[in-house]
Each structure stands twice: as structure tokens, then as C-alpha cells.
Amino acid sequence: MIDARGLICPMPVVMVQKEVKKNAPDQLDVLVDDRCAVENITRYAKNSGYQVETSEDGCEFKLMLRK
Amino acid sequence: MKKENIIVILTGILVGLAALVLTALGNPANMGFCIACFERDIAGALGLHAAAKVQYVRPEIIGLVLGAFIMAIASKEYRAKAGSSPATRFVLGALVMIGALAFLGCPLRMIIRLGGGDLNALVALFGFVVGIFVGTIFVKKGFTLKRNYEVSKVEGSILPAVMLILGVLVLAVPALFKFSEEGPGSKHAPFWIALAIALVVGAMAQKSRLCMVGGVRDTMLFGDAHLLYGFIAIFVTIVIGNLCLSKFHLGFTGQPVAHSSHVWNFLGMVLCGWGSVLLGGCPLRQLILAGSGNGDSAVTVFGMITGAALAHNFGLAGNADPGLNEAGEYIVGGISKNGKFAVIGGLVIVLIISLINSKKEAKEA
């Protein structure tokens, strides 16, 4: 689980990128609280071969990246 | 083509058209939209500096912030947040402005100038890309200005409120402000038209996330050229518009409100690009984020306005080429010794900020 709440782009995507490059996980959950970060992580994840599901809870978003 | 790419391209075209229209209606040549120049003009109008040629309350800045604010509320994206190293952001905002004014324009005006055939802007673009590249090295190493936190809606609405009050005051009590009688500050499109155009551009920039730094940065970091489409769309629109209007003049010399001191055009935009990466977006993006509730970006904007005032109070800003002298020789403008010291000193400070905030992140990890 990556907690990128309170961080503005590009930091959330950089965190996801580091994890993907380092461990290439089959599944990865990411918490963010910025819609721009949701869009950017989704775009990066799809380009990296992941499917992305997003759930919204108030001001927070949980992205579930799956191979 | 993906919908998000279409939105950013349409926004780029809109910004390009807006710049052409505003120039045709009275804004200075190759300066239809310039965040650095217009914040500098506002600083002058408020009496924060005494450069008589650059004083005017630019409705473009007011409109951009309020347009973003309205769009953020309408799309339920308004989030009041702050607390991510605000003092550091203030300093970075001031330095980004000093770098931009050494070149005589923000990244947006750099594209607009390039679209008018001003090759000095090409030199600046190289500097801008180098600055972004250096910034991304630190981002990869863990640079961060730390997290922001939810704050009251009042805190998140400070810049929209300030801009609204500024707009009301300039209409109700114009005698409060200073207005240039000659020079770039005296050249402006009609207030209401400029405000209306900026409201639309601000709303679209909020929706599309348009950012002059973001396009280059994301391409370098992730191979994601999404935002670069907006950058290119602005340039293509401006070039076509200027060619149609016979206002495309290719060359280094004789360009409007520009100097051809290459080293300082380059280094000024290195400073601007590097600082903007650390801030998470270009001067335009800072206005849009501040309109969307980001108090840290509001602090950054206040830093930029302060930087503009400092740039003119201490003679740091670039001076346009005077042109031909009596002997027929072309005289190059540029920046003063103070300006050179400020740009080099700014780069050193940005380096220190980059190192300090990267090391701390590494320790935390």
C-alpha cells in the first residue's frame, strides 16, 4: 500500500513508479486525495500494463492496480 | 485520441487564441498572456515597485484564478489544503519570478514569443528544459516539500477572495492604484473582455490540468506526453495566427519586449524551470491550483508577486534591446550586474533547497 495523501503531482506517480520498477508487484493499492493524482497514476499504471479500479471515500481515493 | 488529450489540446488552442485576441485588442506584442509580466504589473499597480512603465491591474490574473475557482466548485474538485512547506514555496515563487523576469516572460510567454518568431525564446526554451531536467533528478532522488493537510474553506479561498476584492476595488476606486501612462503597462485589452477571456481560460486550465512545466517534466519522468500536447497546441495556434496576421518575425533582434542576451535568457529560464518543478507546476498552474483551494499555491503566488517587486526595486529584471543607435549598430539589452547576481544566487538557493529536501526524504524512507 502506498499512501500518497497530501502529496501533489508528480510525487504520487513517482512513488508508484519506484514501487513498480523495484518490485513489479502483481497488485498495488494507492491512497491519494487529489483527483489529478488519480488521473496521472491511472494513466501511468495503464501504460505499465496494469488494470486500475478506483473507489472514492469522501475526499480520498483508493486506486487498486492489478496485473 | 483519448478524451483527456483532446481536452488539453483544446485548452492549448484556447490559450493560443486568447493570446492572439488579447494582443489584437491592446495587450503588448507577443504578450497576450504572460503570468510573470501580469503579476509584475499588478505589483506595480499596488505600489510594491516604482517602475512606472509596468503598472496595471491585469484582469487576466483575476480571471484565471476566479475561473479556476468556479470550475473547481462546479466539478466538485475544490479542496482546501495547505501546510506543505509554505515558507519554502514563498521563496521558490519569488526566485521563479526573478528567473522569468530576467528572460522577460514566464513559460507561457516563452511559447507565445516563440510563436511570434522570437528566437531568443528558443534559447530560453533550452534553458527551461535543462532546468526541468535538473529538477526531475532531485524528484527522482526523493525531493518533496512534504504533505499538505485539509484546512478550512476560508484558508483555501484566500487567493480567489484577494483577486475578487482587487477586481472590485480597481473598478470602484481606481485612484487607489498606479497605472502606467507609457510602456508595456499602458498597453492593455479592454478590462471586461480580458476578464471574460481569462475566466474561460482559467476554467479550462483547471479542467485540463494544463501546465507548461508538467508536459516536459512528465515526459522526462514517465514518458507521459499528455500535457505536452497543450504546450504544442499553444505554439501551433500562435504560429498560425501570427502568420495569418503577418506578425510572424523570425529572428533574434528587434523582437517586442525582449532582449537577446543569450546567456541570461538561458540561465533565467533554467532557474524558472527548476524552481517550477520543485513547486509542482508552472506560474500558470500555481494560479489555477490556488483557485482550486490550494493554500500553498496561494503562498507561491504571493511569493511570485513579491519576487516581481524585488526584481524591479533592485533592477534585477531584463531590459529589452534598445535597438539601433545613431551609428546604425544594434544595441543588445539584457540584465544588470544585480540581475546576474540574483539569477546565479537564485540557482544556488534552489540547489540548496533541492539538496536539503531530498536528503530529509531519504532519511525518512
Q: What is the secondary structure of B187-235 as a DSSP string?
A: ----HHHHHHHHHHHHHHHHHHT--HHHHHHHHHHHS--TTHHHHHHHH
CB contacts of B229 in chain A (<8 Å) are none
Report the distance separating Cα B141 and Cα B362, nearest Å. 8
Q: Show the cell assigned to B183.
A: 510602456
CB contacts of A12 in chain B (<8 Å) are none
* pLDDT above 90 coverage of chain B, percent: 93
Query: Residue B34's closest CA among B145, B170, B189, B247?
Result: B189
Cβ–Cβ of A59/B214 closer than 8 Å? no
Q: Minimal Cα–Cα distance from B63 to chain A, Å?
A: 22
* pLDDT above 70 coverage of chain B, percent: 98
Q: Minimal Cα–Cα distance from A8 to chain B, Å?
A: 7
Q: Show the cell assigned to B155.
A: 484558508
In this prediction, residue B359 carries a pLDDT of: 66
CB contacts of A39 in chain B (<8 Å) are 4, 209
In this prediction, residue B365 carries a pLDDT of: 43
Q: Could you tell me how many CB contacts below 8 A there are between chain A and chain B?
A: 53
B84: left (phi over 0), alpha (psi -120 to 50) or beta: beta
A17 lies within 8 A of chain B by CB: yes
- Confirm whether A9 is a catalytic residue: yes
Q: Catalytic residue among A2, A7, A9, A64, which?
A: A9
Omega of the bond leading into A10 within 30 degrees of 0 (cis): yes
B49 lies within 8 A of chain A by CB: no
CB contacts of A43 in chain B (<8 Å) are 4, 224, 226
In this prediction, residue A58 carries a pLDDT of: 86
B147 lies within 8 A of chain A by CB: yes
* Sequence-ordered list of residues with C-beta below 8 angstroms from that of B190, at least 6 positions apart, any chain: B25, B26
Give the tens place of pLDDT for each residue, B266-300: 999 999 999 999 999 999 999 999 999 999 999 99
Give the tens place of pLDDT for each residue, B49-77: 999 999 999 999 999 999 999 999 999 99
DSSP-based three-state secondary structure for B330: strand
Cβ–Cβ of A44/B81 closer than 8 Å? no
User: Would the pLDDT of B354 be above 50?
Assistant: yes
DSSP-based three-state secondary structure for B134: helix
Q: In what order do the strands lie in the sheet with A27-32?
A: A2-3, A27-32, A60-66, A51-57
Side-chain-side CA neighbours of residue B18 (13 Å): 27
The complex scores an ipTM of 0.94
B129 within 8 A of B251, measured Cβ to Cβ: no
CB nearest A44 (choices: B140, B144, B224) = B224
A43 lies within 8 A of chain B by CB: yes
Residue B122: pLDDT band with limits 50, 70, 90: very high
Report the distance separating Cα B151 and Cα B1, nearest Å. 38
Query: Residue B278's closest CA among B169, B353, B338?
Result: B353
* Sequence-ordered list of residues with C-beta below 8 angstroms from that of B91, at least 6 positions apart, any chain: B303, B349, B353
Report the distance separating Cα B289 and Cα B78, nearest Å. 9
User: Would the pLDDT of A46 be above 90?
Assistant: yes
Its pTM stands at 0.96
Q: What kind and span of H or E run contains A51?
A: strand A51-57
Residue B87: CB atoms within 10 A of its CB come to 9
Report the distance separating Cα A3 and Cα A12, nearest Å. 8
Candidates B5, B132, B222, B292: best to mutate against A (most CBs of A within 10 A) is B222
Residue with cell 470550475: B71
